[in-house]
Structure 1
Amino acid sequence: MQTDVEPLSVIVFGASRGIGAATATAFHEAGHRVVGTHRGSGVPSGVVGVQADMRDEGSVADAVRTAVEHGRLDVAVVNAAVAPQELLVRMTAASIREVLEVNLVGAMLATKHVAKAMNRQRSGSIVLVSSESARVGIPGSSHYTASKAALEGFMRSVMWEYGPRGIRINAVAPGPTETDMLAPMTDEHRRALLERIPLGRVGRPDEVADVIRWVAQSTYLNGAVVPVTGGEGFGV
């Protein structure tokens, strides 16, 4: 097990599965104190689980308070998201609002509360989990794509507000990753997808988690969007 020198206080929003669970595990195994939010399905072993709904500011604020019980908050990873597959013509106002409320509004509220905690100590690192779809688009998921593109714009404004206070904010943009979001994909669609990835495979959650952890612990990276795509979307 790789252990870092100084234990950090970390919160991961959306830590019950996929990239969020892998990220929470990576920080925990490196010797850090990790709080992970979930919506009822639990978090990885060793991680302090807190039930939170990204659409409810009160529960988001409560999760942050749990994370700062040790006196500080060093890293926040904002990963919680929903990604229903719907063609635009079949979307309802309710389904569009749900995606935007969780992926964008919820992420903004989470960032607000962690930034307030970090502002008191004049240091901290926030990592937003975006998506390569914000750059290349995904057919049948325009509300998800819109939420992630808006999230990156939000990040660039927060960078200017909190950079002078010693708080960095960056985004990691995964490409196709072996999570629940790929489960509905047909074999034909998967073959077509793999043809667009120079490495010839989709990513693993732990591979994305490694990049998130590196970005979170960098010291001069700020306002960046770091792609983790195996080359998908570049030169195609």
Structure 2
Amino acid sequence: MSAHKTILITGASRGIGYGIAHRFATLGASIVLLSRSAAAVDTARGSLPKIPGFANQSHRCIVGDVGDAVLWDDIRRNEVAGKQKDIDILINAAGVTHHSLLVATRTGVVEEVLRTNLLGTTLACRAVAKNMLGRKAGGCIINVASLLGLHKPTAGSTVYAASKAGVVGLTRSLAAELGPAGVRTNVIVPGYIETDMTARMSEVARIAALKATPLGRFGHVDEVADAAVFLVENGFVNGAEIVIDGGLACT
């Protein structure tokens, strides 16, 4: 179902977003990568494969801040250089993390985390869903949350956890709103995945996380991409929370 589709992916220049983009490109999808960094997203686009036999497959970039409502108004109004009507699938993977006790967290940091993780995901869903509803051809939205926002809150993760819990609630509500029109909305809930975010963990925190995970390792981006493919390909999954955490939620 993903071959010949056009997929808009936020946070696509690195980490989980890029891993998902690369996987769908190998399946013959055309990828629209959105990132704040022009250089990073252009490099990412250039490294995506194009599959022989898929003459219409192409990859393109959008540079902007997902938390900027004007960006999403422009995307919808300008139809991504005239091609927004093709967007079959939206994957919201853009996110920032932060660790500090709430009482010690500056207002600016609170705003940045909520703006990117929750507001950005909400604005993206609103903009693209309007086009999906207008097309009357169904669609698929996948949001990326975090285990910290669902099963494993920890001290110091308050703002981040709140933003990701909001993404889960957003997803479930949208599944009910958009489902009757054939637009499915699901959420991937990763635990610790090997990305640049986890690479910045202290050695003490990393060891503790590994000990708490029954499989004894962090997940790989490819394993998250597997879940994204499943959610796209299975046409009866709507409002689901796919936890990918090596069993961490069970401990």
C-alpha contact 1:176 1:202 (8 A) present in aligned 2: yes
Candidates 65, 72, 78, aligned match of 2:92: 78
Q: Secondary structure at the match of 1:212?
A: helix
- Any gaps of 5 or more consecutive residues in structure 1? none
Deviation at 1:164, TM superposition (A): 0.7
Deviation at 1:120, TM superposition (A): 1.6
C-alpha contact 1:37 1:63 (8 A) present in aligned 2: no
Amino acid at match of 2:222: D
Work out the number of aligned pairs and report it: 232
Q: Does 182-191 or 172-181 show the bigger shift?
A: 182-191
Tell me, yes or no, if structure 1 residue 168 matches structure 2 residue 184.
Answer: yes
Quickly say closer, same or farther: Cα 1:13–1:67, change in 2 above 3 A: farther
Quickly say closer, same or farther: Cα 1:164–1:88, change in 2 above 3 A: same
Candidates 4, 7, 14, aligned match of 1:17: 14
C-alpha contact 1:19 1:208 (8 A) present in aligned 2: yes
Measure, in 1, the Cα distance between the counterparts of 2:17 and 2:123.
18
Q: How much is the aligned-residue C-alpha RMSD, in angstroms?
A: 1.7
Measure, in 2, the Cα distance between the counterparts of 1:215 and 1:61.
27
Which runs of structure 2 are paired with 1:117-132 in the superposition (5 Å)?
A: 117-122=131-136, 123-132=138-147
Q: Does 160-169 or 57-66 show the bigger shift?
A: 57-66
C-alpha contact 2:2 2:27 (8 A) present in aligned 1: no
Match of 2:213 in 1: 197
Amino acid at match of 1:125: C
Measure, in 2, the Cα distance between the counterparts of 1:5 and 1:179.
25
Task: Return the TM-score normalized by structure 1.
Answer: 0.92
Match of 1:95 in 2: 109
Between the two proteins, what is the percent identity of the paired residues?
Answer: 35
Candidates 109, 123, 127, aligned match of 2:123: 109
Amino acid at match of 2:96: V
Measure, in 2, the Cα distance between the counterparts of 1:21 and 1:153.
25
Deviation at 1:6, TM superposition (A): 3.9
Q: Secondary structure at the match of 2:7?
A: strand
Deviation at 1:58, TM superposition (A): 2.2
Q: Secondary structure at the match of 1:150?
A: helix
Structure 1, residues 50-93: CA drift from partner, whole Å, max 9, x if none? 10211212223444622871742211101111102222221011
Measure, in 1, the Cα distance between the counterparts of 2:93 and 2:3.
24
C-alpha contact 2:75 2:84 (8 A) present in aligned 1: no
Quickly say closer, same or farther: Cα 1:139–1:165, change in 2 above 3 A: same
Deviation at 1:186, TM superposition (A): 2.0
Q: Secondary structure at the match of 1:126?
A: strand
Match of 1:225 in 2: 241
Amino acid at match of 2:184: R
Quickly say closer, same or farther: Cα 1:87–1:50, change in 2 above 3 A: same
Q: Secondary structure at the match of 2:227?
A: helix
Measure, in 1, the Cα distance between the counterparts of 2:82 and 2:144.
21
Match of 2:51 in 1: none
Measure, in 2, the Cα distance between the counterparts of 1:58 and 1:33.
25
Deviation at 1:33, TM superposition (A): 0.7
Deviation at 1:185, TM superposition (A): 1.6
